[in-house]
Structure 1
């Protein structure tokens, strides 16, 4: 008997509906690709710019090559674990997105110039030059932002149920390190050095540790073993662990000396007061097919003192609905990357209740959503800076 009800439905439906669904997915992807490359092509190459024929031909060939090359690079790189090819595909995807966004916004400049009486081809050439210049600047800056060791974002969070003995407890948060095709071993060591400078009581890694298995990404993840905390270091899975042997990453972090909160909790005590630190699997865990995985907050809190405040690690902000029902005091999440490349944050908001920052849910529960420490895929961060977070917990 299958553990995935969708498989039962698909088998019963037969091959014809599956083929139709497959072709619908292909049509959606093709439409997105045509927009992603077609709008910039129209803005930069054709339209009213009246470039010389050689420029139009060369520009068209470049866009067609990018249109055909992106899916080939992504499938060959990520599908076959070829890091160099995957990194090139990711970079092309990020560049195409930024160019598309600013080509769309370039139409606003086109309208302004039209109202100002600037005629073609001058008007379209000004727009093309502006779009290209802004895109290049943002990609260079975005790459630098993605590759630097994150700045520390510090804030106080008041938990009314926190005992005075735990007032001032320092919680450092890293998440979404996404060790991947680009070797960031030195970056990883820099992150650990910066975290250790914080002298935190609790250090949390809130999932999406890497894209790839622990064996493949060991050289990048190895510095995590050197993270220091006066009380505990805790880790939960994100959705990307379920693409690459989630249990392997849990075992890896346990060997590195971290407390893995696989639907469980631990309790820390100071000055006679207690804080429950719990963790649950990612929201996608149950559907991943990995036996014994799936978010289970009831199991995670089983046996915990109901009078003690609860700090919960859950990778996705939308998991806060369960936390609020259970009366959790503070949930720590990542996953969103703050959108990573503007204006993707607006699309993230369609799926998640919060993109970044501190928010309140229900009468008791607060949620802090980190923008993430690393990046996924395209090595760019545009208007969504990465962060290492330092939360200082305060009693009422």
Structure 2
């Protein structure tokens, strides 16, 4: 009985996602054989979605099921979102005196056209090499020797069932073209075990950064093979920061680069965020903190961190999901200020999770140019 609420939620959400589009696109526009055929298509989708997610993301870890389930999830989410808008438009047409069948058919054609266009565009956006976004961040107390330091941020690469080896190589080329002083991966490296995903990750070993390459765990590492991925990145020449810090020095000035585990790490013995441990013994210089989730900013503010770099949100990834992300995280994307001296940069992510779609939430490779205050 304790699993009944979970099962109800697992089936109830897909039912809602399919029910509204079915009503708007099938029930209101057709009858007879067309009604039955359209209903059968929606019923098949409703069955395949939870089955694909369970077989793909559950204990069996089937890559084929992941692709089916995730693709259906993205497609029906976009269809549901625009069906909500279509229902509002339909109500407006009713008030305006437009009668059926013209009213229902006009709305259905409009929703389907927008849906198809967004699926094509969203797929291209997800699979493309991310655009480079350059942001200058003034760091109080930063020495002149470190002024202009270029920190390139990648995060949420989520190497998974879809083989993105060529994409991975192109990302590395773009990162190196930015002439980074340091490169940071802010977590959610891959979904699945090292044995399956290592080939896609190995190009990261060719990232070039004169002052260091740093990596922290995200929540998805702890859903799979966290220890394996930490070992893998170490072997590729990256420095995992597990509640630890390193000191970066240039021109006689120093900067602390610290990293903490994702909160989901508490499920694994010896893991979990510990900011005091990460900063233990650090000199009195500005601190740049890598923390996967933006909501970890509260601890950073208390510790007087100058800049926290996070990912996790994907900028919402598929509109309008960012409204739901905002319920859990203080920031969805971009540079924000918290407390008197702490700034937070939240990346929209370099890859994607689940559906190979990005709708109104483009991916990014971020160049944070650190600036000393103007005298």
TM range (shorter): over 0.9
Pair 1:271 & 2:251 matched: yes
How far residue 31 of structure 1 moved from its aligned partner, in angstroms, is: 2.5
Aligned to 1:318: 295
- Per-residue Cα deviation, 1:284-340 (whole angstroms, up to 9, x for no partner): 111x2x2211101111111100x2000000000001111000000000000000000
Give the Cα separation in 1 of the matches to 2:227 and 2:190: 13
Q: In structure 1, list runs of 5 or more residues that go unmatched.
A: 1-18
SS at match of 1:368: strand
Aligned to 2:337: 360
Question: Which of 48, 57, 71 is equivalent to 2:36?
Answer: 57
Give the Cα separation in 2 of the matches to 1:35 and 1:216: 34
Q: In structure 2, list runs of 5 or more residues that go unmatched.
A: none
Give the Cα separation in 2 of the matches to 1:377 and 1:334: 16
- Per-residue Cα deviation, 1:198-248 (whole angstroms, up to 9, x for no partner): 011010000000001112101110100000111100000000000112111
Aligned to 1:300: 278
Pair 1:381 & 2:358 matched: yes
SS at match of 2:150: strand
How far residue 113 of structure 1 moved from its aligned partner, in angstroms, is: 1.8
Give the Cα separation in 1 of the matches to 2:38 and 2:130: 37
How far residue 52 of structure 1 moved from its aligned partner, in angstroms, is: 4.1
Pair 1:337 & 2:314 matched: yes
Aligned to 1:3: none
Instruction: Decide whether the 8 Å contact of 2:219 with 2:265 is kept in 1.
Output: yes
SS at match of 1:138: helix
Aligned to 1:14: none
SS at match of 1:45: helix
How far residue 75 of structure 1 moved from its aligned partner, in angstroms, is: 1.5
Give the Cα separation in 1 of the matches to 2:61 and 2:206: 28
Pair 1:154 & 2:131 matched: no
Pair 1:124 & 2:104 matched: yes
SS at match of 1:172: strand
Equivalence map 1:143-292=2 (5 Å): 143-286=123-266, 288=267, 290-292=268-270
Give the Cα separation in 2 of the matches to 1:28 and 1:313: 34
Aligned to 2:23: 42
- The two structures have a TM-score, normalised by structure 1, of 0.92
Aligned to 1:76: 55
Question: Which of 23, 31, 41 is equivalent to 2:12?
Answer: 31
Give the Cα separation in 2 of the matches to 1:248 and 1:27: 34
Aligned to 1:13: none
- Per-residue Cα deviation, 1:6-45 (whole angstroms, up to 9, x for no partner): xxxxxxxxxxxxx2x4212222233222211000000000
Give the Cα separation in 1 of the matches to 2:213 and 2:253: 19
- Per-residue Cα deviation, 1:234-283 (whole angstroms, up to 9, x for no partner): 00000000011211111110100001101100001111110000000001
Aligned to 1:8: none
RMSD: 0.9
Pair 1:394 & 2:371 matched: yes
SS at match of 1:373: coil
